[in-house]
């Protein structure tokens, strides 16, 4: 039973078993879930942060348990790492400037975050590739997506800074 619950958690309730692009499905589901939490249910950001932190910590143990007896230490069906990485830029956007974001503006921003996150997760620039290649355990599975999430944040900050100088 625990193994089944764990499998449901790391595959985001089986979404990770859908072929051919489970990571993309996981990222898209994350965008939809966070939009729903922030803009439909209006859950306070500190509650969402607590949930994200619990998922982050729990995922290390859950992924380790899922890959324990497997030769493949980064199976494609494990997409909880996409949830974590995709959550980083979206959460930081939502809490930035301390103002409530309009749903239309959020949809555009979430879409940009989704595209950039998938790009960095697939291309794997350093240090994303470092964690992916050198840590064949739950730490590597999760941290490469965390790095990809921070690449999105850095990219968006650079874009905002450059656009402020050009406008």
pLDDT in tens, 91-121: 999 999 777 788 899 999 999 999 999 999 9
**Of all residues in the chain, what percent carry a pLDDT higher than 90?**
77
**Model confidence band, residue 5 (pLDDT cutoffs 50, 70, 90):** very high
Dist. CA 162–CA 107, nearest whole Å = 22
Dist. CA 51–CA 70, nearest whole Å = 29
Length of the chain: 167
Secondary-structure breakdown of the chain: helix, strand, coil percentages, each rounded to the nearest 5: 80, 0, 20
Q: What is the pLDDT of residues 47-69, one digit of tens each?
A: 999 999 999 999 999 999 999 87
Peptide bond between residue 77 and the one before it cis (omega within 30 degrees of 0): no
Kind plus residue range of the DSSP H or E element containing 110: helix 103-123
Peptide bond between residue 20 and the one before it cis (omega within 30 degrees of 0): yes
pLDDT at 3: 82
Q: What is the pTM of this model?
A: 0.92
């Amino acid at each position: 039973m625990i193994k089944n619950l764990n499998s449901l958690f790391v595959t985001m309730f089986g979404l990770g078993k859908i072929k051919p692009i489970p990571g993309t499905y996981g990222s898209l589901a994350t965008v939809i879930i966070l939009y729903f939490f922030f803009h439909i249910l209006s859950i306070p950001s500190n509650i969402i942060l607590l949930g994200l932190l619990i998922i982050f910590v729990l995922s290390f143990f859950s992924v380790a348990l899922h890959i324990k007896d497997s030769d493949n230490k980064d199976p494609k069906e494990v997409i909880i790492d996409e949830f974590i990485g995709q959550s980083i830029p979206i959460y930081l956007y939502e809490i930035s400037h301390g103002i409530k974001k309009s749903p239309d503006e959020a949809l555009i921003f979430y879409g940009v975050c989704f595209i950039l996150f998938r790009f960095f997760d697939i291309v794997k620039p350093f240090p994303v590739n470092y964690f992916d290649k050198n840590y064949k355990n739950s730490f590597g599975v999760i941290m490469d997506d965390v790095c990809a999430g921070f690449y999105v944040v850095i990219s968006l900050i650079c874009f905002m800074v450059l656009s402020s100088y050009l406008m």
